[in-house]
Amino acid sequence: MRLFQLARLTLPGLAVGFIAGVVAGGLAAFVGQPAGWALVSALTLGVPLGLLGAGYTMLLVNGKVRLGGFAPAAVYWLVGFPLARLLHEVLTRLILTGQPGLPPDPLGFLAYQGIVSAGFAIGFLWLHERVAPRYWQRLAAHDDQAREVYLRYASHARVIVEANERRRAARGRKPKAGTGPR
């Protein structure tokens, strides 16, 4: 796979991760931090989260993680999110004060970020699952790998819908309008 094609296929994860970091920078500005500080915060968190998001998408595209599964995303971000936050802390301190430094209690910091990573994984996966398939559907007309990934998503969605319909039928309920296979 060419580097350009890989970069194009991983764009959804890159975008979702980067936007999450930029939102953190926006929140810093919202609570009254100077604009320069907020920009540094946005970039020092957005870039690592964007690169990690692209890495997650690369694993997904290459079939290394299960589609729509929370457990693989949670494990990935259990490692990735604390590392991104640690890098964010070190780089922000370096850029703003000129001296690198770790948080006062690095192990406690990493443990707390590991706990927070579950929430981040939920948000990342939710947004990624809404953005990526639509993006790959648009690329599918001229990119075979994007078509393959999109068709895997469509097949996965079909299996989920059919399983839900069977479960409803077993309970004696009618399927919801507009949820059947197309």
Exposed/middle/buried for 68, CB within 10 Å: 0-12, 13-18, 19+? middle
Rounded to whole angstroms, how far apart are CA atoms 43 and 151?
34
Span 14-57, pLDDT tens digits: 999 999 999 988 998 899 888 998 999 999 999 999 999 999 99
Q: Which residues of the chain have pLDDT under 50?
A: none
CB atoms inside a 10 Å sphere around CB 13? 27
pTM of the model as a whole: 0.86
